[in-house]
Chain A
Amino acid sequence: MKLRCLGKGGGFHFPACHILEIDGFRILLECPIDLSAIAVFSPISAVFDDANTELINAVPWYKTVTNFPISDLEASLIDVVVVSTPSGMLGLPFLARTKNFSAKVYATEVTARLGKMAMEELVEMHGEFVKVYGLEEDGCLPKWMDMVELRKLSLALKEIVMGENGEDLASWVPLYSTEDINESMKKFCVLKYAEESCYNGALILTPYASGLEIGASNWKISGLRGSVTYLTNSLFRSSHAAKFDFRSLQGNDVILFSDFSPLHENQLFQDNENLSSMPSRRISDDSIDFLESSDVDEDEKMSFLCSCVIDSVKRRGSVLIPIGQLGIMLLLLEEISKSLKSSNLQVPMFMFSPVAEEKMGYVNFIPEWLSESHRQKLFSGKPLFSHADLFEEKRLQLFPDINSSDVPMELREPCIVFCPHWSLRSGPVVHFLHLWRANKDCLLILEKGIDADLTLSPFTPLALKVLQCSFVCGITIPNISLLLNFLHPKLVAFPEDLKKVILLSKETTPSPSSFLFYTDNMTLHVPKVNDNFEAYMSMKLASQLQPRKLQQQNIAIARSGAQLSLQRGKFFLDSIPTPDKLSSRKIHWGSVDRKQLLTALEEKGIVVDHDTSSLTRDNCYNLKNVNGSSGPFQLHFSASETIITGHADETLVSIICEAIDSAADGI
């Protein structure tokens, strides 16, 4: 098994990406786009005369993972793509449009559907740029990629565009089309949680809830020589999504640990220092105690956000929420509408997105994918999300975009607007930022992980209040080693960048597993965890066996012919039509029990010839056949062989061999 990390990603919207080779199959784990990089392009806004002009004025290209297998050849070598979250599939059409791309893509039903919506949203918003700049010419590099132009970029932008040594330049690609999306969706094999799917008769892929987002998953990938847990960002406590199903991952041989959230959260050092002093609440989950230090904070964060929103609207300022995480957005919607109600405020809420209607409708009929509390709503006959009521009461209105015909000419302000895109470069958010940026009573809520300075630079000077909030989106550090101990793998492939984390926690709780550390773009050879393959034997074959007990009393062996076949990742051994045609080669081992040998020979009429006893030494017997003609002959013994010399004809030799057979282990 081999592992190559193509990129450690960057938070919720840009998951890490790997290539895993197992049993000769090449699996691409995630296929993301680094959407934060489109910050280098300026938003469409002819209106901003005073805008920062440092950004690139062009139809944006999109940045994939640095070492992404984007060439026709590399893409054609991929057998399987595994996708865990909608962000993990945004780059898929880039692969799907290469020649000879024939991989099968595995994702949960919900991830595939939400991911498709995200791609459509992206294409739709991208269209705004095309409208302004016109279509790009096919097959030639855009002007901004010219070396001369690139040199003009500021240091910060150059770093994003080119990477440290220019290696990132090749990872920029023009966006795909709606047809590309539809084409790539045909490659999908969509699954439910805990649904086993078989690739090529050999690999079994099974997604289990990761708790990160509705439909998000970790994976069990079972090969012929053992099973791998592909562990992505996971949340023990999730407000909307089905909870992290870590139990189903127990006992797999290898864990590919790919939750980089501690790295992006910058909690690495600060948390380690106060590991013991952290206010922790132990949530007992049967036998395991996971530290849920964060959930209290999360609730606090949410209520703080709501209070800020209420403050704004009370001061007649509008609120702009370009949050990309579906779960967070749903939670905000729910909490804000509750706060509004309790404060007795009649503030309208709007949602602008080409897929708003589809998305909000969709989450209302996927109870199986939601958290326990939402499932309970199904069983008691209440709508899964309160936004169904909000529509009915007209407190929340959905529009495909700001120009759609049913949008009222003047939105009643103050209002609360949910809209894409969190990168603040395209989509309705740009329009609203124009509108409200100078109003100090307005509020903009951003996700963490966004370079706020760069992202907001085209909108300066800003008067509106900006709130950047961070939500936990992975396994928190204290839980990592607890989880790994519970899962009990033989091997863990762990990011080198997080080595400190695991070494530190290993001191407190020694882990039974061995660790390997991987770094970007280096191939890690994962040693075999099982030397043997597992196979099932049919009753028929078992009944045909003629086992023989060895001198070690607890072992029996049998020679057998069998038919070997592979079905759904399992080997089966069945009987063959002519089982008697087995090899006749005799193998013996160990030592020969001489006493037993002589007794056996005696029974066949072969005795020690005492006439020539002078020749009989410790390691050599003279033997003769009492009633036969052939002989005399000698048996020479040594630790590793028995040699028959003298006049022995074929029958005699076979008699001797039989006797040796009974006096030594052999088959």
Chain B
Amino acid sequence: MAIECLVLGAGQEVGKSCVVVTIGGKKIMFDCGMHMGRVDNPYPDFSRLSPTGDFDNVLSCVIITHCHLDHVGALPFFTQVCGYRGPIYMTYPTKALSPIMLEDYHKILTEKSNGGEKFTLNDVKECMKKVIPVNIKESVQVDKDLQIRAYYAGHVLGAAMFYAKVGESTLVYTGDYSMTPDRHLGAAEIDRIQLDLLITESTYATTTRDSRFALEREFLNVVHKCVSDGGKVLMPTFSMGRTQELAIMLNDYWERMNLKVPIYFSAGLTLQANVYYKMLIGWTSQRIKQSYVKCNPFDFKHVLPFNRSYIDSPGPCVLFATPGMLTGGFSLEVFMKWAPSKENLVILPGYCLAGTVGHQLMSGKVKTINLDKNTQIDVQCQIHQISFSPHTDSKGIMDLIQFLSPYHVMLMHGEKLNMEKLKGKIQSELGTPCYNPANNETQDLKTSHFHVSRNGNVGEGILIMEKEKRAKFVHEDELLQTLNTEEHKVKIAGCFPVDIGKLQSSVSSLQPNLIEYGGHKFSENANLGKFNILQLLQIKLNELINIEIVCQGFR
């Protein structure tokens, strides 16, 4: 048995996650993402999968782990432009939220109007219609041989790790995951399953983070200080996930500290997202699920919709604006206005892809940003990077590998140098072979079939293998019956002399009342001679030849 992984994206990088795994003769595409930092070449190179473009016969199915664009961004392109028509699986929330993310992104592209969009809004709609939604832990039979199952991954609402099984070959593809619960999501949860391969993200391959509580407090303090000094806080986020988590935190904090400074969501989109969140409470953390009966945690008391005219109005405020990473659109527009003021603050809530404005801000003390030839932004405002993240840290990755103890580990979705370090650690500390292929490379893995715990019963039998039938394991006593045949015995009838010379004398020298011979006691019988000679002979013979001889009918 062998598993083959063709990495079409997120190999030694973050962005356009896409890997095609061949397992037991089935080809599964895990994630179909896009690279947001690259306008020219944002999609995986699907032609490597099928030069003729006949994807339907090549792939058994496509599985999408969650609604982030680096995981679902290329799906409309793949189905509507490349023409893939086979089954697509994702969780219920991912199916509900992905179109919002895709439409969100589409808007940026059309705003930039450089012809970057390769799919239309209608493509998104048509594409999502084909998606088969799955529930966590539901065993889904893709076809006769291929079974898949989603496991809770935290990270973003609806994110899932996917398990796939063909025959006895198994693997898990994690997508993005978090091993600690946050304000609205639980931690990743998976069964201890025997795995040939674990493909895991490694965004934070070398980082071990501090306690979440301290990091959250730091964030709240920074925001509080800025608004109390009269500054404006800009949070460029995507409509899903981070926004809700941070809004829950700020809403609670505002409540607790009795703050009156307004918190805004940029137009419609994020409010719409909350409608989805309310229906998907079952996918949030235990804490939120339990609190639901009293009040909906996604009805933010302190959050108001933002009006474009507020950009220039004076006074402090907090604004959540899309898109994240300041790739363009409304958040960039606000950033250009607010960045030159010292008292303002820009919060970068998460990972920013190389090539984005967010990424430039992250990388240190940037004072000017050249947007294009004619546009230069003077950056005077404070920059704060949120250090709590919906991605697992290196300890979480190690914990997961240790928990599942797969035969092979493959790293994706991370930076090359950090991946190398983690790979070394996995190999040396856990003794598990580990790989981190680059994009467009193929990784071949040998798998042993199953390994059984060493606590079974040991037995012996005969295996009968008949053509076109299942092999049968029987006990040797059942063999003849199973084969429907009679035994053919091979017997040996030997003649050899037996010395019974002393038998007579031993009898005569016996005690009158007791005959003892070879440890056997006989009570005396009146007619000793007639009775016992034969019996004594039998005992003697039994001693000489190691075969049971039955003595009967001598009386």
Q: Chain A: residues with CB nearer than 8 A to chain B?
A: 191-196, 206, 248, 357-358, 361, 364-368, 375, 378-379, 381-384, 532, 535-540, 545, 547, 550, 554-567, 572-574, 576, 582-583, 585-592, 639-648, 653, 657, 660, 664-667
Contacts and interface: CB of A to CB of B under 8 A. Distances in A.
B139 interface: yes
Interface in B451-473: 451-468, 471-473
A193 B138 contact: yes
Given A192-B136, A367-B280, A562-B459, A667 B494 contact: no
A567 B476 CA distance: 25
Nearest to A191: B137
A248 B141 CA distance: 9
A587 B139 contact: no
* Most chain B CB neighbours (cut-off 10 Å) among A574, A586, A653, A664: A574
Contacts of A559: 460-463, 476
Contacts of A379: 95-96, 99, 128
Interface string B474-485: 001001100101
Contact of A381 (B96, B133, B471, B479): B96
Contact of A194 (B138, B449, B464): B138
B281 to A, nearest CB: 4
Interface in B342-373: none
Interface residues of B, number: 64
Given A375-B133, A545-B463, A644 B456 contact: no
Given A590-B488, A653-B492, A368 B458 contact: no
A367 B283 CA distance: 11
A569 to B, nearest CB: 13
B92 interface: yes
* Most chain B CB neighbours (cut-off 10 Å) among A367, A560, A573, A641: A367
B495 to A, nearest CB: 8
B450 interface: yes
B214 interface: no
Interface in B425-453: 448-453
A195 B139 CA distance: 6
B466 to A, nearest CB: 5
Given A567-B452, A640-B486, A365 B461 contact: no
B488 A641 contact: yes
Contacts of A660: 490
6 contacts: A540-B449, A555-B483, A558-B463, A574-B450, A574-B456, A657-B490
B293 A361 contact: yes
B522 interface: no
B545 interface: no
Q: Interface majority SS on B: helix, strand, loop or mixed?
A: mixed
A195 B150 CA distance: 10
Contacts of A589: 480, 483, 485-488
A644 B490 contact: yes
Interface string B281-302: 1100000000011000000000
Given A365-B280, A368-B133, A585-B476, 15 more contacts: A192-B135, A357-B293, A358-B293, A365-B279, A368-B282, A375-B133, A379-B128, A538-B451, A545-B463, A563-B457, A565-B453, A572-B450, A587-B480, A641-B488, A653-B492
Contacts of B260: none
Contacts of B96: 378-379, 381
Contacts of B449: 538-540
B168 interface: yes
B135 A193 contact: yes
Nearest to A194: B138
Contacts of B467: 554-555
A588 B488 contact: yes
A535 B456 CA distance: 13
A574 B458 CA distance: 9
A195 B293 contact: no
B458 A563 contact: yes
Contact of B492 (A538, A550, A648, A667): A648
A556 B495 CA distance: 38
Given A196-B139, A539-B449, A564 B279 contact: no
B275 interface: yes
Given A560-B462, A561-B460, A195 B138 contact: yes
Nearest to B136: A192
Contact of A587 (B136, B293, B451, B487): B487
A653 B494 CA distance: 11
A590 B138 contact: no
B490 A564 contact: no
A667 B305 CA distance: 84
Given A365-B282, A375-B133, A565-B455, A194 B460 contact: no
Contacts of B472: 532
Nearest to A198: B191
B521 interface: no
B140 interface: yes
Interface string B118-143: 00000000001000010111111100
B502 interface: no
Contacts of B463: 545, 547, 557-560
Nearest to A382: B275
A642 B137 contact: no
B555 interface: no
Contacts of A358: 293
A590 B483 CA distance: 10
Contacts of B133: 368, 375
A640 B453 CA distance: 44
Contacts of B256: none
B488 A640 contact: yes
Contact of A562 (B136, B293, B461, B464): B461
A361 B292 CA distance: 8
B498 to A, nearest CB: 16
B491 A642 contact: yes
* Most chain B CB neighbours (cut-off 10 Å) among A195, A536, A539, A557: A557
Contacts of A550: 483
A486 B146 CA distance: 23
B489 interface: yes
Nearest to B131: A379
B137 A195 contact: yes
Contacts of A248: 141
B493 interface: yes
